[in-house]
Amino acid sequence: MTFKEKSASGKKLSLNGDERSHSTQKKQGWEYSASPESTDHIQLRKKYDLFIGGQWVKAAKYFPTINPATEEKIALAAFASNSDVNKAVLSAKRAYEKVWSKVSPKERAKYIFRIARIMQEKAREFAVIESMDGGKPIKESKGIDVPLSIAHFFYYAGWADKLQFAFPGKKFLPVGVVGQIIPWNFPLLMAAWKIAPALACGNTVVIKSAETTPLTLYKLAEVIEEAELPAGVVNIISGAGETGAAIVNHPEVKKIAFTGSTEVGKIILRSIAGTDKKVTLELGGKAANIIFEDAPIDQAIEGIINGIYFNQGHVCCAGSRLLVQESIKDTVVKKLKYRLRSLKVGDPLDKNTDVGAINSKEQLKKIKELVSSGVDEGCTLYQSDCTLPERGFWFRPSFFTNVAQSNRIAREEIFGPVLSIMTFRTPKEAIEKANNTQYGLSAGIWTDKGSKIFKMAGDIKAGVVWSNTFNKFNPASPFGGYKESGFGREGGLHGLKEYLSFNE
């Protein structure tokens, strides 16, 4: 059975003053007028070859990358074959041995600073392309993805000549050639998280973008050319799972940094078992966002919204399980229903858009399948009554109540704008429920009591625990998981360690 999309209209709620005035505005047709970001300043090629050894290298096959908001083709991207991967890895090896390992740390820093500065000059272009290729709202790519990516390059540029202070008394060397495989939800940001520390530590890189979002990585390749980074230090390729597997299995690749699904993370671990490759895996999540009755409720509502609807819920650390204290459940659900109706869903390039397009047809299918399972298992679905565009891939911001811990929607990662709401009575119960998952990437705690925050944060098995906020990132703070969310840390000083080999 497939679920029928329910409309929120017609539901009676008692509203406060602000809420009433909003609903009057809607009734009278006071909507935002369109405010599209200009695309005049962006430069895109029709066809992207592979960036290997500082050259644009033709591939035997190309695939179209489309705009998920319009289903229109934006450009063609090269599909790297095994022999292309081999070329890229050998070029990275040559660059490591002949050039990069001989460049002083101070010089390395200069190159990384230069990349960051050129990215700043092209920030608007990066943001527009990221939104076109991936479907995320322009206000997010402009305000979060791009500045945070640049901040990672600046941050790690600063470390390049200070590594001995990061690890005093230790002897270490770069790893050599590193293979990096990234997902489609934050393409440029994930590339920055991986490339910046790798270069700062003196490694060379082969990085592969995800199937649906190759464009900002190729823009980054143009920045790298402009920064005159020595040829082969960073090689950027595109392709599919088999391309990723060829990187993982190449004998000259000494470290793998992977962000993606737990399923593929397991395949990678199996295939490198018995080798001396270093590996970091940043995998799935099913984070608990825990709201206590003493929390500042309106801020918590914003935290819930940000936790699950940011980037259409395509976020591995999304607050996809809401644990709300039983005494305030009705208030929270009522306020969430109201807030959902004011989320603007639509054109990712519109500056007022809050929720953009689902990244791909396949992802939309996965979301629908899981939501259907929630309906079939007896959970109650609530959806925004927004009007969706006719073309493209869209899913209404949604949440479920009457959710049991055993329901699939409470256990599996939906990776879409769908929240599962459950309740608890005591902090102990909240901790048990929060930890009752195969994942352990992130969590949120909302309460007025500092002591409760410290107790909860210590007992929740998650790599990141936010208190009275959610989805806050900073290059100086490490990020990573426990359990099936993977291992290893990216960001901060911890992130440097993963790109060095220590001679204890």
Mind telling me the catalytic residues?
282, 316
Neighbouring residues of 124: CB distance < 8 A, sequence distance ≥ 6: 41, 142
CB of 503 to ligand ADP, least distance (A): 30
Report the distance separating Cα 438 and Cα 85, nearest Å.
33
Helices (H), 7-122: 17-27, 82-98, 105-121
User: Considering the rule CB under 6 A, would residue 244 count as an interface residue with ligand ADP?
Assistant: yes
The reply on whether position 120 binds ligand ADP by CB under 6 A is: no
Is the distance from CB of 486 to CB of 314 less than 8 angstroms? no
Which stretch, 33-41, 238-246, 290-298, 378-386, contacts ligand ADP (CB under 6 A)?
Answer: 238-246
With contacts defined by CB under 6 A, name the span among 49-57, 72-80, 261-269, 367-375 that binds ligand ADP: 261-269
The reply to whether 188 sits near ligand ADP by the rule CB under 6 A is no
Give the one residue of 84, 211, 412, 490 binding ligand ADP; rule: CB under 6 A.
211
According to the binding rule CB under 6 A, does residue 181 interact with ligand ADP? yes
Q: How far is the CB of 181 from ligand ADP (least distance, A)?
A: 5
Question: Can residue 460 be called a binding residue for ligand ADP (CB under 6 A)?
Answer: no
- Give me 261's structure tokens: 């699904």
Look up tokens 């593929």; give the residue.
264
Q: Site for ligand ADP (CB under 6 A): which residue of 76, 229, 248, 357?
A: 248
With CB under 6 A as the rule, give the number of residues binding ligand ADP.
16
* CA 150/CA 188 separation, integer angstroms: 9
Helices (H), 320-417: 329-341, 361-376, 408-411
Q: How far is the CB of 259 from ligand ADP (least distance, A)?
A: 7
Closest CA to 412 of 437, 429, 432: 437
Strands (E), 344-487: 380-383, 398-401, 418-424, 442-446, 464-467, 486-487
Phi (first) and psi of residue 22, to 5 degrees: -65, -45
From candidates 260, 397, 416, 417, binder to ligand ADP by CB under 6 A: 260
Q: Is 253 in the site for ligand ADP (CB under 6 A)?
A: no
User: Residue 272, interface with ligand ADP (CB under 6 A)?
Assistant: no
**The one among 241, 275, 449, 459 contacting ligand ADP by CB under 6 A:** 241
- Residues 189 to 208 in contact with ligand ADP, rule: CB under 6 A: 208
Enter the tokens of residue 170.
Answer: 């230790």
Q: Which residue's CB is nearer to ligand ADP, number 185 or number 420?
A: 185
The residues in 322-361 that bind ligand ADP, with binding defined as CB under 6 A, are none
284 or 427: whose CB is closer to ligand ADP?
Answer: 284
Residues 6+ positions from 312 with CB-CB distance below 8 Å: 135, 136, 355, 356, 357, 358, 359, 395, 416, 417
Which residue's Cβ lies closest to ligand ADP? 244
- Residues in the site for ligand ADP, rule: CB under 6 A? 181-183, 208, 210-211, 240-241, 244-245, 248, 260-261, 264, 267-268
